[in-house]
Amino acid sequence: MVLNEEAMNVFEQGNSARQHSDEYVRVTVTLATVLLLMAISQRFKTSSVRIGLAVVAMLLLCFPVFRILTLPRA
């Protein structure tokens, strides 16, 4: 009985850790998307397209920065 409860607690801790790691992966993918948009924007010669993509990238950057600040550590 005691081992069953301990196993359930460890299982729940594992699930919680997996959810946190999934959140960090989502943040990393979003940051990579921001980098990709900035790199693509440098390829255009038209300044309006470059500025537009840079603005979209900067707006998209707000989400992962907020998530990084609010996600639990260790």
Whole-number percent of the chain with pLDDT over 90? 91
What is the identity of the amino acid at 51? Answer: I
- Mean pLDDT across the stretch 5-31? 94
Q: Is the pLDDT of residue 18 over 90?
A: yes
Residue 6's domain comprises 2-70
Mean pLDDT of the chain: 94
Residue 72: predicted pLDDT: 84
- Mean pLDDT across the stretch 40-63? 95
Please count the structural domains in the chain.
1
DSSP letters along 3-39, please? HHHHHHHHHHHHHHHHHHHHHHHHHHHHHHHHHHHHH
Residue 24: predicted pLDDT: 94
Name every residue whose Cβ is closer than 8 Å to that of residue 23 and which is 6 or more positions away in sequence. Answer: 67, 71
Residue 31: predicted pLDDT: 97
